[in-house]
Amino acid sequence: MCCRRLQKQSGRVLMPSFEEQLKSLESVVEKLERGDLPLEESLSLFEQGVDLSDACKRELDAAEGRVQVLLQRGRERVAEDLKLEE
C-alpha cells in the first residue's frame, strides 16, 4: 500500500510526498510491465498501483483547487484595481 512508508518527524506521521508516491507508482508499473511475476505478486503490485494512483490524483486535485483559488483572487484584485481607476 502507498501508506505503508510513513515517515515520523517530531512525533507526527507524515505521508510520502507526491513525488515519492509518483516514483513508487512508476516503479510498480515497470515491474508489472516486465510480466515475469507470479499472479499473486502481480495482483498485490496492481493493488498498490491503484492506491498510489488514487493518492496522486487526490494530490493533483488539491493542487488544482489551490491554483483555481489563487487565479480567482487575482481576477478579483484586477477587477478592484479597475474599479479604483474609474
| Residue 5: pLDDT over 60 | no
Question: Cβ neighbours of residue 16 under 8 Å, at least 6 residues apart?
Answer: 2, 5, 6, 7, 24
Q: What is the pLDDT of residues 45-72, one digit of tens each?
A: 999 999 999 999 999 999 999 999 999 9
Q: Are 48 and 29 in contact (CB under 8 A)?
A: no
Query: What distance in Å separates the CA atoms of residue 25 and residue 28, rounded to the nearest whole number?
Result: 5
| Topology adopted by domain 2-85 | Helix Hairpins (1.10.287)
Name the helix (H) or strand (E) containing 19: helix 18-34
Domains in the chain: boundaries? 2-85
Q: Are 55 and 21 in contact (CB under 8 A)?
A: yes
The DSSP output letter for 15 is P
Q: What is the pLDDT of residues 6-54, one digit of tens each?
A: 556 666 778 899 999 999 999 999 999 999 999 999 999 999 999 999 9
